[in-house]
Amino acid sequence: MLAQPYLYCWCGNVVTQRSQVIRDALYATPWYEQDQRYKRTLCIAMECMKRPIIFKTGYYIPLSRPTFVSILRCSYSYFAVLNQANNQ
């Protein structure tokens, strides 16, 4: 049951991390040796990549590993409360 949210959160986390790596890799290229058109295109691309790509559910919950951990914690808390109420 937890495999599906884990898969979404893990993939969202990977996409976010790789988008940051791509931005850093673009800056590490020898852009100062290139022509003016390349520099302008690189500047536009880096400006677009200023913020990392973050997939969200419902437009406000980011898909990441901390989100999955919080889902696990809440699920266990609800389970523990319901189990205790059932035993009494």
What residue ranges do the domains of the chain occupy? 3-87
The per-residue pLDDT for range 44-85, each reduced to its tens digit, is 998 988 888 899 988 888 999 999 999 999 999 999 999 999
Q: CA–CA separation, 72 vs 82, rounded Å?
A: 15
Q: Give the pLDDT confidence score for residue 24 in this predicted structure.
A: 87
Please, what is the angle between helix 65-87 and helix 3-28, to 10°? 160
Q: What's the average model confidence in pLDDT over 7-20? A: 91
Local structure of residue 52 (DSSP, 8 states) = P
In the Cβ-directed half-sphere of 15, how many Cα atoms lie within 13 Å? 13
